[in-house]
Structure 1
């Protein structure tokens, strides 16, 4: 980020020089600064945002520096593109969290993570021991995802490709199973391995 942009960020008002540069359209400039602050907080590069919004990288930098005012249409595209990028980042993070949690549970149960990840929940192969073991691992992973990571059930269901009702049912089964001291301890140890309280 340029020194000019940093200075503008830390100031409650736009300097006279920047005001001339943006043609008095301080509201547009302030909106751009808010967009860029969100971009940085989400760890999205300037290049990513500019490309997604179909805005020139150089124009974006010039706008931040106050050399000329951003256009309203460009601000709308930047806002919309940033919302999509942030959503994509969140979905990618959630997918990685789900896979790592399920893999950890599988290892704890003596299962092969790749096999558990590959077992389709919709197959409903209740006569298959391997599928049933994978289903049990999914139930525990759902429990940790929702109760330990505070992931909403709707999001947990979406990332695993099941219904919210299936997640709710899995949570009840695991919770009922925690009446067994050994199972309860197993859940606690898994939560500790994930570095979150049970």
Structure 2
């Protein structure tokens, strides 16, 4: 199957997710800068989630560019990823509204962990479709960053569960910072394919 519709649909869903998240930012009543101070938790959680959606969009784009086709299993795996990503506006809003409290931060971490697992399933389906000797499989390699992300998410969830949610949130920030650099493995695979 062609991958164009999958890419277009995914791009549309991710754009809607970002739009929903920004609607959680309420305009303060007042004209001085002091009225912005109470918004810091909501704004901080929005920025973090915006970065996460951007990371997923970027890596999803590269993953599909390194792929030649999709299958029914890939379509369903992609929907699983989009499902978990679509919950980010809710978990982001709850965490921000409650100033990174224990349960909201823990749920946010679980949401991020579910997104990571779903992305791994999507990668796995694409590798199965293209074969273990494909450029895609070679580009993914051992996926050290992906595995490290899961460990850091689990640590963030554990610290949040121990009522150290601000420390737990730092683990989520660390994962985002780790992924801000685009995944060069996919770019290298696409260059090798073009030769």
TM-score range normalised by the length of the shorter chain: 0.3 to 0.5
TM-score by length of 2: 0.32
TM-score by length of 1: 0.32
- Which structure features the higher share of helix residues? 2
Give the number of the structure with larger relative contact order, counting CA–CA contacts within 8 Å between residues 6 or more apart. 2
